[in-house]
Structure 1
């Protein structure tokens, strides 16, 4: 790469559990000859996605090129966290050819794009494109709002009021900022659901967008890298609910970390997590689980009642511990009630 050229950055955004980390793993495994760097931003103080990606590090994206920023939205902590981290990545001994940024599932992408106009970095870096991921089955079912029918009924009753929920605003802002939308987990949705998801996204998009269905994050990198969108110079075409605001808050959401002993029954734990979604409106659960008698750690990823678990690698020198990060809207977070469900279902008190 020409040392005077701008380093392209791809911003990967999307709702909780849409598959952002899976997509980045695929890109790391298929770098197209590019040396990559990755910045992962998670909501909450305990990182999981960064650890997953570091397990995929190789010569084209070594572990030192993977940086995790936890416990703070990067678009809310630009000066303290984002700018210094980007500068550190650009100053690596081997300059990266391309930087991937995975935002948290609750992030609004437009404030982040504005950060690329900061004097410290604007002459050295550019936003190649914004990729928004949307879970096909979830979007088709309208899960980005607690009850879409009720919201629409309230809006129809009083047009002067904005009854949209924080979840729908996050979804809409991410779509509005995108250059390409990926409908993920397409294998879990039938043709009718895929069509419904497309229609929902097209209804929210401020302009015509490519919408591509993908499975397990598999997509030709040439379709989403090298877009040359210079998104930081195209903000007017990317409207946001928060345009005109000096900042935005994430007080609508909260996170709690649940520590448990070793688990005897992994299936019971997965059922407990699904129960949390049903009974306490929990949006997202992710973390690592120590299963009694198993040398491998179990990675758990849940979106609503859909729970996936797999043994990813030996614990090694890492202390065996079960630690789960639980995310929900602020009024739904009750740490004692969450822990009670997990403890009772897993018979670990």
Structure 2
């Protein structure tokens, strides 16, 4: 009897609608995750619900409205495209499901759909090329909560990063070339990764080093010298110190340093979302141009680009053929 196998692509999540109520429901779940905010819940809950959410929800909802697609949230739409493309590439060798750590479609529901098909072997593939305790580890936590309730625990594998995979690096480099980078001698490439609090890195989170290696590998493929690219971190939240340099600060400083033409790529994001389409492509561009920049181009995330889907398929095929849990 052939063993049925399932693959779950897992991303962070998104509000169900671009409204303060939709944003509040999403942020409440996201920011109550101990992996994301390490403050004890008894202290953090009143701060989150009494100060943070009332101040942030309308502003974040307004930002979502700028990028919302006819089909819904960009993160969900592009993630669904990834799921369909990967399923088409793998054919009947495995069932591909999509899940979010926070919001819908939930990881619990994705597993329920696989379980209903008598799936006995599962691959969990977080859609974060670089590992972080704030992202990949949260997927692991959520999965363990689900299987803790099962009498028959499925065999499962967890692929927590793929930042060094050659075809992923190649796909990034190709996407940068396609957008026209290096068509002008003064072009500068900025790798902007999502940030994490500095204390997480000091405690051993390998994310900063993996981001640096990602950028270095892509720069090598593109044949860039050290002065043709920079690395920075975006999306910091709260008053604590985050890993740097900060993207918004760098965008204000670069024109005065003679870098007036810039391309920005965000390799930590497998699909385009609020942090890329609004924070970088809209607000980041405005910051850079107001500081004296003359040219700004955001390079879209890989989304469902064929080469990236082939990267995901290669990871899945290795697992499928290994026979290992």
Q: TM-score, normalization: structure 2?
A: 0.34
Q: Which has the higher contact order (CA 8 A, sep 6+)?
A: 2
Q: TM-score, normalization: structure 1?
A: 0.32
**Would you tell me which structure has more helix in proportion to its own residues?**
2
